[in-house]
Amino acid sequence: MVLVKVFIAILFVGPIVWGWRNWVKYKGTSAPKHIVNYPTLINSAVLYALAFNLIFFLQELFLVLGKKALGLKAFLYHNDHNWVGEHSKTLLMQGSGAAAIFLIGLICVLLFRLIPYSKSIWRLFVLWLAFHGLIQSIPQVMVASLDPNTDVGEALVGYINLSQTSLLILAITSIIAIAVISIWFSRQLLDFVNSDVDLNNPKVKFKYIRFIAVGAAFIGSILVVPFRIPPMGQAITPFIVFVFSIPWIWSAAACSTPVTHKSNGINEKIYWSPIILLVLLLIFFRMVLTPGLEF
């Protein structure tokens, strides 16, 4: 799977090279002040963290429900799942979580496209749900080609018994899809810029994406950590998602054109309802899921 590793390297290096090219091309351009503010950053960060945790929870939930459908006793935790018993299709059901959140991601994309003129901050939440549904599921195919002991690996290799050629094709396709999808999300995130902002200036696009995506996703990843631990090894997961996707969103900003460019409440003030929901979700994770929930 040397070719897969080469494509993975391109996935990480690609936005760095693209970003350097953008810096050289637009270094003489400047962005006006006050085109974006900290409410955008904070609101997006909280919604990002909410979406990440909800999608991860749904993935583990569908993994558990898959085992339950086979008649096995299953347990749901804050960052994992387990089961008791054996069944001939257990390995197949190891792919049920990734498949479920992939479909949820597609549904959220469709929902987002159905509300193009909504000024509600929850429109951004729908977009982040779509992002995490796709970006948390598709890379699992890539990882499965390198490690068949992962959940999706057990389904594709252990049960379906895909050939190395098929795994190679799926892995490379998933890597390309990650980059393409991230670039698409760059365009959608620019939809939230205030309507009076001139998007003909590429530095304006970079600045807005730096707040609503790059900074927000990094802070959001930090907010996710309390949901993932213990063990401490799980704390790295949100940052892995950040590294192979968000740089593509930022690098693609200059050549992205928003669909509607409709002002959104996300830029106006800090909203408390997402923060309260995130705290309540953390309480649920710590008090209910950390000890384990039996199905």
Least confidently predicted of 53-67, 81-95, 270-284: 81-95
Residues 29-43 have a mean pLDDT of 83
| Per-residue pLDDT tens over the stretch 219-258 | 999 999 999 988 887 889 999 999 999 999 999 998 877 6
> Any idea of the CA torsion for 248, 250, 251, 252, to the nearest 10 degrees?
80
Residues 111-128 have a mean pLDDT of 92
Residue 106 has pLDDT above 90, yes or no: yes
What percentage of residues in the chain have a pLDDT greater than 90? 65
Instruction: Tell me if 190 sits within 8 A of 253, measured CB to CB.
Output: yes
Residue 197 has pLDDT above 80, yes or no: no
Between 28 and 289, whose confidence is greater? 289
Nearest to 194 by CA among 144, 246, 261: 261
d(CA 28, CA 30): 7
What percentage of residues in the chain have a pLDDT greater than 70? 98
What is the torsional sign of CA 124, 122, 48, 154? negative
The three-state (H, E, C) secondary structure of the chain, written as one string: CHHHHHHHHHHHHHHHHHHHHHHHHHCCCCCCCCCCCHHHHHHHHHHHHHHHHHHHHHHHHHHHHHHHHCCCEEEECCCCEEEECCCCCHHHHCCHHHHHHHHHHHHHHHHHHHCCCCCCCHHHHHHHHHHHHHHCCCHHHHHHHHCCCCHHHHHHHHHCCCCHHHHHHHHHHHHHHHHHHHHHHHHHHHHHCCCCCCCCCHHHHHHHHHHHHHHHHHHHHHHHHHHHCCCHHHHHHHHHHHHCCHHHHHHCHHHCCCCCCCCCHHHCCCCHHHHHHHHHHHHHHHHHHCCCEEC
> How confident is the model at residue 260, as a pLDDT?
62
> How confident is the model at residue 259, as a pLDDT?
58
d(CA 257, CA 204): 12
| Per-residue pLDDT tens over the stretch 264-294 | 788 889 999 999 999 999 999 999 999 888 8
Between 292 and 56, whose confidence is greater? 56
Residues 27-52 have a mean pLDDT of 88
Least confidently predicted of 39-53, 107-121, 137-151, 198-212: 198-212
Residue 76 has pLDDT above 90, yes or no: yes
> How confident is the model at residue 1, as a pLDDT?
72
Residues 197-215 have a mean pLDDT of 87
Residues 59-81 have a mean pLDDT of 92
Residue 175 has pLDDT above 80, yes or no: yes
Residue 135 has pLDDT above 80, yes or no: yes
The pLDDT-based confidence of 29 (bands split at 50, 70, 90) is confident
d(CA 77, CA 274): 23
The pLDDT-based confidence of 261 (bands split at 50, 70, 90) is low
> How much is the mean pLDDT over the chain?
91
> How confident is the model at residue 116, as a pLDDT?
84
> How confident is the model at residue 48, as a pLDDT?
98
